[in-house]
Amino acid sequence: MAQYEDKVLHELDGIKEYDNPMPGWLMAIWWGSLIFSAAYLIFYALSFGEGSMEAEFRGDTQAALTAVQAHYDANPLVTPAPATLLAGARDPAVLDIGAARFSRTCASCHGAQAQGLIGPNLTDDRWIHGGSVEQIFQSVAKGWPAKGMPPWGRVVKPEELAALVSYVRSLQGSNPPNAKPAEGDLTVAEPIPGS
Ligand code: HEC
């Protein structure tokens, strides 16, 4: 205390007010944050071109989209051969995969028995977009987004996608209860080999 005795500003009833400088470490933080904030303002907040946060965000987004597109280009959506899809319609292992995925992903719109709900009945012989396994594959993979059918080709694994088509084909003529009235054009179902 002794070194401050000469800096007493006021004294009242023995209570002294000193005029002490701010400690050096506190001043260092003060000046440090002032300089940092000025630099931050200039380099990040005010630089609208290269190096701004917005440019960085745009760059990262573009890079991610390019990577996704490159992945799509390297892994094109391949329609399995119709014979494979039809053979799957009587292969229990394939149907198990298809049924499991259907109840998880499709039943909410098409009904648990594919009898139709928001989406059309998939068990009858009428199809809005065609009932060949190839056309069904296209409907499932690319969807009809404008009509409320989402595209699943990039969401569902390729083997599940094929299994879904085989499963839907296997439901032809299953006549579930509470079926939604048929929509679309009459399609003669392709025969399932060996059945
Ligand atoms: C969000 C609701 C919704 C989900 C989920 C959905 N669909 Fe659809 N789906 C629709 C609607 C709505 C249509 C009718 C589109 C139209 O009228 O063009 C449709 C149409 C279809 C068609 C064409 C039917 C025809 O008559 O040509 C097939 C096949 C189909 N969906 C299969 C599936 C499969 C398989 C899944 C699960 C992977 C699925 N959908 C999931 C709503 C859905």
CA angle 169, 175, 176 (to 5 degrees): 100
Instruction: Identify the pLDDT of residue 87.
Output: 96
Instruction: Identify the pLDDT of residue 49.
Output: 54
Nearest to 73 by CA among 61, 65, 82: 65
Instruction: Identify the pLDDT of residue 3.
Output: 54
The number of the ligand 1 atom at minimal distance from the alpha carbon of 106 is 37
pTM of the model: 0.75
Distance 117 CA to ligand 1 centre (A): 10
Instruction: Identify the pLDDT of residue 74.
Output: 87
Instruction: Identify the pLDDT of residue 48.
Output: 60
Instruction: Identify the pLDDT of residue 8.
Output: 83
With the most atoms of ligand 1 within 8 angstroms of its CB, the residue from 97, 109, 117, 157 to mutate is 109
Instruction: Identify the pLDDT of residue 19.
Output: 85
Is any atom of ligand 1 closer than 6 Å to the C-beta of 151?
no
Collapse the DSSP code of 164 into the 3-class scheme (helix H, G, I; strand E, B; otherwise coil) and give the result. Answer: helix
Collapse the DSSP code of 17 into the 3-class scheme (helix H, G, I; strand E, B; otherwise coil) and give the result. Answer: strand
CA distance 184 to 5: 99
Instruction: Identify the pLDDT of residue 53.
Output: 76
- Range(s) within the chain of domains with CATH label 1.10.760.10: 82-186
Structure token digits, residue 89: 């319609």
CATH number of 82-186: 1.10.760.10
On whether the CB atoms of residues 123 and 172 are closer than 8 A, the answer is: yes
Tens digit of pLDDT per residue, the chain (195 long)? 455 556 788 889 989 888 888 899 999 999 999 999 988 888 777 766 566 778 888 999 999 999 999 988 888 888 999 999 999 999 999 999 999 999 999 999 999 999 999 999 999 999 999 999 999 999 999 999 999 999 999 899 999 999 999 999 999 999 999 999 999 999 988 999 887
- Return the number of other C-beta atoms located less than 10 Å from residue 146's C-beta: 6
